[in-house]
Amino acid sequence: MLTGMKHLHSTLAIILLLALVVTIIITWVNYASNKPYNRKIALLGLISAHLQLVIGLVLYFISPLGLKSFSGENMGNSLSRLYFLEHPLMMVLAIVLITVGYSKAKKLEDSQKANRTVLIFYIIGLIFVLSRIPWSTWSILN
C-alpha cells in the first residue's frame, strides 16, 4: 500500500508539474494575443492538483515520514521537518491557490481578466510547489 501510494504520488507530481507549466504557457499566449480563456486547460491542472492532494493526505497518515515523525526532536532535522511539516503545508496552500484561481476565473465574463487571474494564481501555486518538493531525496531523481 505504502509503496503503491509513493509511486502514485511521484508520478502525479510529474503530471502536475507538466500540467501547471502547460496551463501557464497556453494561458500566457492567450493573454498576450487577446484570445479567449481556455478553461479545459486550466481544469487539467486543477484535477491533477486535487488528485495529488488526496494521495498526499493518505501518505501523510501511512508513511513513516508523515505524521508519525511529527515530534519536537524531529523539528531540528531539516529533512524530517520538510516531510512532516513544510512539504504538506506548502502543497496544501499551493492547491488552495490553484483552486481559488480556477474558481474565480470560471465566474469572470471578461476573457482577459480570466486569463490574468489563472496566470497569477497558477504561477504563485507553481512557485510554492517547486519550493517544497523534496528534490534531494525524490526517488525518481536519485
Binding site for ligand HEM (CB under 6 A): 6, 9-10, 13, 16, 43, 46-47, 50-54, 56-57, 59-60, 63, 65-66, 83, 87-88, 91-92, 94-95, 99, 103, 106, 129, 133-134, 137-139
What is the closest distance, in whole angstroms, from the C-beta atom of residue 107 to ligand HEM in the complex?
8
- The residue at minimum Cβ distance from ligand HEM is 56
What is the closest distance, in whole angstroms, from the C-beta atom of residue 91 to ligand HEM in the complex?
3
What is the closest distance, in whole angstroms, from the C-beta atom of residue 109 to ligand HEM in the complex?
16
Closest Cα partner for 69 from 87, 96, 54? 87
Which residue matches cell numbers 497556453?
26
Cα-based distances in Å from 74 to 23, 79, 89, 111, 136: 37, 9, 16, 48, 18
Contact 49, 95 (CB under 8 A): yes
From the CB of residue 67, how many other CB atoms can be counted at a distance below 10 Å? 13
Q: Measured from the CB atom, is 95 or 118 closer to ligand HEM?
A: 95
Measured distance CA(20)–CA(17) in Å, rounded: 5
What is the closest distance, in whole angstroms, from the C-beta atom of residue 71 to ligand HEM in the complex?
15
Q: Measured from the CB atom, is 30 or 63 closer to ligand HEM?
A: 63
